[in-house]
């Protein structure tokens, strides 16, 4: 850590800070400049948040900054020396034709698709059919819905989970669905293959801590105004409970621009690929909010290096109970998948469709 | 609602939308311009989110906009005709000298103060003493702490709640503490007088819905990048469950500026005073992140029209386990309270100290 | 325009607004709802800003909103019915081997590249050679530099312009350079083929108006926190002076994220392709600020639909006088161009290299 | 400066950076940690931007950070040891009754008021009369208007300047007006007492540099998404040309919130008071965009520590040619001034009205 002292800090302030650093087990390295003093605390600072907090409030201290990122387990460096340092997830499931599996985080481009909300058996079966037909490997659908308004549709809950499980059984696609509360974990876990943590819950720390008790992979969406560091720290929460199967999904950030629902921050993709070993997913549906922007931004996401895409697809968007405006219909989704193939190939990703 | 059709929308698109509006029980009012058609759906649109969602995804629709705000119960107009439309909360409690009460939302400026985290009996007792001595009426302290890092101090939990209750008993100040998970509600409810919902949980809808089962007043902090409308909708969640005792606390928003932790958005204060009947609180400690900015911004908050302030105070900030950098010590807090008096008087607020 | 009256507006307020609308030559269309009145002003509202300003300040008016976008000349609809509605620019120039030309805005992917600042003859010649060798068609280089600090290098000015012209003469690449002040227009115009208006000057309206007096194409960068509408209005300023040769360059927006210099907003690409007929360029160098992010984001920009890229390239970035951290060196640039080819082809763009 | 090397940096990378630091005349101070090396460059780094740029692009360098702020002349520390370190401006002028003067930056609260645009003699005279009557000391009015749309009213130009001068002559108030282009400086300088640089031109560096040739005080508005550091650097541009009479005006920043035109960032007020010796002004008219928010936010600005306010006032806002929605009329302005008195007194500011 680098501690910048105030130009007006007194000698005893500096000594006090030096003592504190040593008390925490670090080596102090003072640099006395012409105008002020900078102290370096040398030692592995990761996981020792206490020192940061304490230093920030000492008399005469102007600023405290980390040198190493404050996360450990999600860091790419953790895998240093390993031949293929990327985390590759293998999702296994049962369906009517036996055992199935999907591998995510490797060379293959994996597409997750399906409706925003689970609405009915018909809608889910038709969605699954259309998704599978075009090459999607994982089926999404919300049974618990975080809605801005208490008067909006809140999801079918367990009935929705059952429909997801039925669709998996029939079509052989593992399913992903959102978990909104730690106390639904057991229930959701019973039906789903991947647990999604939504943007609004990225810093619901009680929920993150609960994920240690499941073996399911977790897809962690970025909070709508969360920094990359906060996002990786949220992932660190999950890994630190013992669940290493985490993927990160960029879904757009909030800015001043009102022309689209969010700004899909594709800068996050190469940045995450550099900082962490976890798989990176992009969600151009939420990242734009408009069906006619999904295809170009899906292509861009793959070109930027995403391992996987999450796409909202609905057999009849005009009748969707939520997010219809950003959902592709069957033919639009088929068209997207067709266009994805050459772009994926151009960046050395394979496509199983 | 105002529905703007695309300039290229076909006649059947327009008719389809008109039919949909009527199916939802609204009257259609079409305006055929030279370039495009606008449809107005006349009727009380509040609480009918379904129509908005459906309209947005119809073919040929460009944009759907609310005319009335999408919240009902929190609206100032709900209290139209009432002599004093503002919600005034009366917080009642027991302590060693009998019954006590604090009134918030009226003419009196109410100051809530105390440490970020409950750390020990000594620290809480000393905090309570210093707060009370200078004129604070409500005591704050965190027992469950939402921390960005899993390696940071996470709070004393029930032990912390007990210390808060002890301080109340001794000093006659009702206490406020944060609730992070619906399943701690019963526990927290047992000890606290006011329940705080933190910025990161403003859209934790499961938590908001759970608050209907308590009679405690709720202080709802603004999410760090939540709009005023989203914030009022989050309050609407609570009111719609039957709990009307809600106050709104501005605590700074996230912007591009890195010089301070957040930007305390005081524009929110007159805006909320105009839009809602709920009391408005400002938190200049989180809104700035720096102890030396707290006093000027506290004065500004009162001048802008806040009913109450929430201030972080610690007997020894340099030893605080969290947020020491933004905490005032006893003498600084006493000085703030002294400076608040004439400003409060200048805007016609009384001060009980 | 849609004018929402306040629920408390009086009859005379409404009549007053109706009269004002008619005075401006529009037809009024009142919609009396249960809670409030909405007035629609029907007629072509574009180019009549006066009404908007006046309506906003009338008594009883809550909100005024445009239905049509406030720009006219840059609108895609202006070209309705034309077979190829996109503006295609043909940049013609002379060099030692005779006449040359570059076409931008059509099917071919055009890459502009070169150093941030013109530093010396050697540096420019070497840059031009490396750019041309790898397939770039247009050479960039700054002679007037907008620098945050008055103590930073401010550019070689006319000497720099001369070096650009020399490089064009030698290598047959038209050049683009930034114009920072209307009173340098004549000077810059004498040497350059394309005039760049930088992000900080996007709303320097005096500068925009001056561009009517040149026949040179203009590349207009997006302001770092400008909305799409403001950007298109800035382009409208230029077109309204008679210069139709405008291209729009996305170069990253300012957000809360500090991990990268800017967030390259690729959502802007499909949005502009939909709204305007002007060519769309992306600048992943400024959009990321880091050399190792340039290649993935350049690929993403092309996949999203950009007609052209602007890339910072320097023969020796470690010695660059400005922006070295985001500049590619020769081999890195060659590698980028190689990777661009298959992505361009995947989205049906041709590559002349 | 603190240079953080990449964990993978080689020995020669480190040595190379050390050599570069020494070449620039600094002392190197290396700190070899367990994971990486940090280098401190000790010496006065201010005014030596070149090193920062160069270091950022060296091989193996991860991050370069300033320890001291990159501005010198605007720094509060420059005035260290002086009894009253704040810059106090004395604006002198002639009018029909002889010589007049206004002092800004001291204990007195100075209010600048007047219409957004100069529209006519009648309007300016009436504005001046109303402003003076209520206690405003300085008269504002725009003769050159930066407008988002080329179709909006662009200002009366020299005719407007003449009307401002007439109003000064008649009412004895110095005038402030915006300068948009360096080549109008001579013209504007002839009529005005204070030159305003608007938000959109805060980083129009050609314009800033030109201000060295005038002796007039300059009011520099904050760019709508400029950081405090960029703002102070823009002021540094002006001071570095020899003009020391600069004041800083907070006028609201751009955020995600759409409920108001801007967010008046009052955190900037105590921050600037701490960092610089220049006077600090707040503009709650642009900072909110709504007339009914101006009064509470004006009170808040004074409570936060602003030396002066800039308020838009129009005799008849409903007829204003620009910004009517945020302008107070005469009685509203009189009411504001009345309310300001006790708040100013509460924070130890005198009021001359």
Do both C222 and C333 map to the same domain?
yes
Domain of residue C61: give its range.
Answer: 2-65
Summarize pLDDT for D175-203 with one digit per residue, the tens: 999 999 999 999 999 999 999 999 999 99
Q: Closest chain C residue to B77 measured between Cα atoms?
A: C7
B194: tokens are 């006011």
Weakest-pLDDT range from B41-45, B118-122, B309-313 = B41-45
What's the average model confidence in pLDDT over A95-120?
97
D80 found inside a domain:
no
ipTM of the complex: 0.94
- Would you call C260 an interface residue with chain A, using a CB distance cutoff of 8 Å? yes
Integer angstrom CA distances of residue A36 from A57, A207, B27, D39:
18, 44, 71, 16
At C156, the pLDDT band (50, 70, 90 cuts) reads very high
Q: Which residue has the higher pLDDT, D273 or D41?
A: D273
What pLDDT shows up at residue B151? 84
What's the average model confidence in pLDDT over D107-130?
98
Q: Which residues of B touch C262 (CB under 8 A)?
A: none
Using CB atoms, list chains with 3+ pairs below 8 Å to chain D.
A, B, C
What pLDDT shows up at residue D24? 86
Which residues fall within 8 angstroms of residue B343, CB to CB, at 6 or more apart?
Answer: B299, B302, B303, D303, D343, D346, D347
Do both A39 and A183 map to the same domain?
no
Do both B37 and B156 map to the same domain?
no
Percent of chain D with pLDDT over 70: 98
**Are the CB atoms for C292 and C94 separated by under 8 Å?**
no
Weakest-pLDDT range from A62-71, B162-171, D18-27 = A62-71
What's the average model confidence in pLDDT over C307-324?
94
* Dist. CA C176–CA C219, nearest whole Å: 9
What's the average model confidence in pLDDT over A302-324?
95
Question: Number of A:C CB contacts under 8 A?
Answer: 128
Do both A52 and A105 map to the same domain?
no
What pLDDT shows up at residue C32? 84
What pLDDT shows up at residue D48? 62
Q: Which residue has the higher pLDDT, D51 or B210?
A: B210
Q: Is the pLDDT of residue A336 over 60?
A: yes
What pLDDT shows up at residue C317? 94
Among residues B65, B100, B116, the one where a domain terminates is: B65
C243 found inside a domain:
yes
- Would you call D343 an interface residue with chain B, using a CB distance cutoff of 8 Å? yes
Q: Under an 8 A CB cutoff, do A57 and B147 touch? A: no
What pLDDT shows up at residue A47? 54
What's the average model confidence in pLDDT over A18-45?
84
Q: Under an 8 A CB cutoff, do D257 and B260 touch? A: no
Q: Which residue has the higher pLDDT, C231 or C79?
A: C231
DSSP per residue, B191-257: H-SEEEE-GGGTT-HHHHHHGGG--S-EEEEPPTT--HHHHHHHHHHHHHTT---EEEEE--B--S-
Q: Under an 8 A CB cutoff, do C300 and A266 touch? A: yes
Interior/surface letters B255-264, b for 16+ CB within 10 angstroms, e for the rest: bbbebbbbbb
What pLDDT shows up at residue A49? 67
What is the CATH classification number for the domain harbouring C335?
Answer: 3.20.20.70
Which residues fall within 8 angstroms of residue D324, CB to CB, at 6 or more apart?
Answer: C53, C54, C56, C57, D116, D314, D317, D318
**Are the CB atoms for D217 and D91 separated by under 8 Å?**
yes
- Number of compact structural domains in chain D: 2
Least Cα distance to D199 among D234, D166, D171 occurs for D234
- Crossing angle of helices C291-304 and C268-275, in 10° steps, is 30
Q: Is the pLDDT of residue A276 over 90?
A: yes
What's the average model confidence in pLDDT over D217-222?
98
Task: For chain D, positions 168-207, list CB contacts with chain B under 8 A.
Answer: none
Q: Closest chain D residue to C202 measured between Cα atoms?
A: D200
Three-state secondary-structure class, residue A153: coil
Summarize pLDDT for C228-283 with one digit per residue, the tens: 999 999 999 999 999 999 999 999 999 999 999 999 999 999 999 999 999 999 99
Q: Is the pLDDT of residue D51 over 90?
A: no
Percent of chain B with pLDDT over 90: 76
Q: Is the pLDDT of residue D62 over 80?
A: yes
At B208, the pLDDT band (50, 70, 90 cuts) reads very high
- Would you call C212 an interface residue with chain D, using a CB distance cutoff of 8 Å? no
At C47, the pLDDT band (50, 70, 90 cuts) reads low
Summarize pLDDT for D95-106 with one digit per residue, the tens: 999 999 999 999
Least Cα distance to B199 among B221, B232, B182, B218 occurs for B221
| H or E, element range at D80 | none
Q: Under an 8 A CB cutoff, do A56 and B181 touch? A: no
Do both D51 and D93 map to the same domain?
no
At C78, the pLDDT band (50, 70, 90 cuts) reads confident
Percent of chain B with pLDDT over 70: 98
What's the average model confidence in pLDDT over D243-249?
97
Q: Which residues of D touch C258 (CB under 8 A)?
A: none
What's the average model confidence in pLDDT over B223-237?
97
C48, C54, C318: residue with CB nearest D59: C318
What's the average model confidence in pLDDT over B273-286?
97
Do both D40 and D93 map to the same domain?
no
What pLDDT shows up at residue A197? 98
A352 found inside a domain:
no
What pLDDT shows up at residue B339? 98
Q: Under an 8 A CB cutoff, do D263 and B267 touch? A: yes
- Would you call C306 an interface residue with chain D, using a CB distance cutoff of 8 Å? no
* Dist. CA A52–CA A66, nearest whole Å: 8
What is the CATH classification number for the domain harbouring B42?
Answer: 3.30.70.1140
Do both D226 and D299 map to the same domain?
yes
Percent of chain A with pLDDT over 70: 98
What pLDDT shows up at residue C226? 98
Q: Closest chain A residue to B255 measured between Cα atoms?
A: A255
Q: Is the pLDDT of residue A175 over 90?
A: yes
Q: Closest chain C residue to B80 measured between Cα atoms?
A: C8
B256, B274, B297: residue with CB nearest D304: B297
Q: Is the pLDDT of residue D284 over 90?
A: yes
- Would you call D225 an interface residue with chain A, using a CB distance cutoff of 8 Å? yes
Do both D235 and D168 map to the same domain?
yes
What pLDDT shows up at residue C41? 86
Do both A193 and A341 map to the same domain?
yes
A80 found inside a domain:
no
Summarize pLDDT for A316-334 with one digit per residue, the tens: 999 998 888 999 999 999 9
Among residues B50, B65, B80, the one where a domain terminates is: B65
Q: Under an 8 A CB cutoff, do C296 and A287 touch? A: no
Q: Which among C258, C267, C304 is the top mutation candidate for probing chain A, defined by the most A β-carbons within 10 Å of its own β-carbon?
A: C267
What pLDDT shows up at residue D78? 84
Q: Is the pLDDT of residue C115 over 90?
A: yes
Q: Which among D44, D51, D56 is the top mutation candidate for probing chain C, defined by the most C β-carbons within 10 Å of its own β-carbon?
A: D56
**Are the CB atoms for C175 and C139 separated by under 8 Å?**
yes
- Would you call B317 an interface residue with chain A, using a CB distance cutoff of 8 Å? yes
B335 found inside a domain:
yes
Do both B95 and B36 map to the same domain?
no
D160 found inside a domain:
yes
What pLDDT shows up at residue C72? 87
Weakest-pLDDT range from A71-85, B241-255, C214-228 = A71-85
Do both B27 and B134 map to the same domain?
no
What pLDDT shows up at residue B107? 97
* Dist. CA A53–CA B319, nearest whole Å: 9
Which residues fall within 8 angstroms of residue A48, CB to CB, at 6 or more apart?
Answer: A24, B151
Q: Which among B31, B61, B62 is the top mutation candidate for probing chain C, defined by the most C β-carbons within 10 Å of its own β-carbon?
A: B31
Q: Which among A13, A16, A60, A150 is the top mutation candidate for probing chain B, defined by the most B β-carbons within 10 Å of its own β-carbon?
A: A150
Q: Which residues of C touch D203 (CB under 8 A)?
A: 146, 148, 200
B287, B304, B345: residue with CB nearest D299: B304
At A45, the pLDDT band (50, 70, 90 cuts) reads low
Q: Which residues of C touch B256 (CB under 8 A)?
A: 225, 254-256
A129 found inside a domain:
yes
pTM of the predicted structure, to 2 decimals? 0.95
Summarize pLDDT for D292-346 with one digit per residue, the tens: 999 999 999 999 999 999 999 999 999 998 888 999 999 999 999 999 999 999 9
B38, B42, B255: residue with CB nearest C67: B38
Integer angstrom CA distances of residue A116 from A173, B40, D251:
17, 27, 41
C78 found inside a domain:
no
Tallying the residues shown for chain B, one arrives at: 353
CA C72 to chain centre: 17
B33, B36, B77: residue with CB nearest C7: B77
At A46, the pLDDT band (50, 70, 90 cuts) reads low
Q: What is the β-pairing status of strands B37-42 and B2-5? A: antiparallel
Q: Under an 8 A CB cutoff, do A206 and B180 touch? A: yes
Q: Which among D266, D305, D349 is the top mutation candidate for probing chain B, defined by the most B β-carbons within 10 Å of its own β-carbon?
A: D266
Which residues fall within 8 angstroms of residue A316, CB to CB, at 6 or more apart?
Answer: A329
What's the average model confidence in pLDDT over B144-151?
89
Do both D46 and D99 map to the same domain?
no
Q: Which residues of A touch B182 (CB under 8 A)?
A: 181, 183
Q: Under an 8 A CB cutoff, do B233 and A181 touch? A: no
């Amino acid at each position: 850590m680098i501690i910048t002292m105030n130009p007006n800090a007194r000698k005893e302030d500096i000594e006090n800070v030096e003592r504190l650093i040593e008390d925490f087990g670090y080596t102090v390295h003072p640099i006395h400049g012409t105008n002020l003093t900078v102290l370096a605390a040398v030692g592995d600072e990761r996981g020792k948040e206490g020192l940061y907090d304490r230093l920030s409030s000492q008399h005469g201290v102007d600023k405290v900054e980390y040198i190493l990122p404050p996360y450990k387990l999600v860091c790419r460096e953790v895998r240093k020396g390993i031949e293929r340092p990327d985390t590759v997830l293998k999702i296994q499931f049962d369906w009517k034709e036996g055992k199935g599996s999907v591998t995510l985080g490797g060379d293959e481009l994996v597409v997750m698709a399906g409706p925003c909300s689970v609405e009915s058996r018909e809608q889910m079966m038709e969605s699954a059919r259309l998704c599978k037909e075009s090459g999607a490997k994982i089926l999404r659908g919300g049974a618990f819905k975080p809605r801005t308004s208490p008067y909006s549709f809140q999801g079918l809950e367990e009935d929705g989970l059952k429909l997801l499980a039925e669709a998996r059984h029939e079509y052989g696609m593992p399913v992903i669905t959102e978990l909104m509360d730690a106390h639904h974990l057991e229930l959701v876990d019973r039906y789903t293959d991947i647990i999604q943590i939504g943007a609004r819950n990225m810093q619901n720390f009680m929920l993150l801590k609960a994920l240690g008790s499941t073996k399911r992979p977790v897809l962690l969406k970025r909070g709508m105004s969360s920094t990359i560091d906060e996002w990786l720290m949220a992932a660190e929460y999950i890994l630190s409970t013992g669940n290493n199967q985490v993927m990160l999904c960029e879904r757009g950030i909030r800015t001043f621009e009102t022309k689209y629902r969010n700004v899909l921050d594709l800068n996050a993709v190469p940045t995450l690929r550099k900082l962490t070993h976890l798989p990176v997913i992009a969600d151009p549906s939420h990242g734009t909010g408009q069906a006619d922007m999904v295809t170009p931004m899906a292509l861009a996401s793959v070109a930027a290096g995403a391992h996987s895409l999450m796409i909202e697809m609905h057999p009849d968007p005009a009748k969707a109970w939520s997010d219809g405006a950003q959902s592709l219909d069957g033919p639009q989704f088929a068209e997207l998948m067709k266009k994805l193939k050459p772009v994926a190939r151009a960046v050395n990703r394979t496509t199983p469709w």
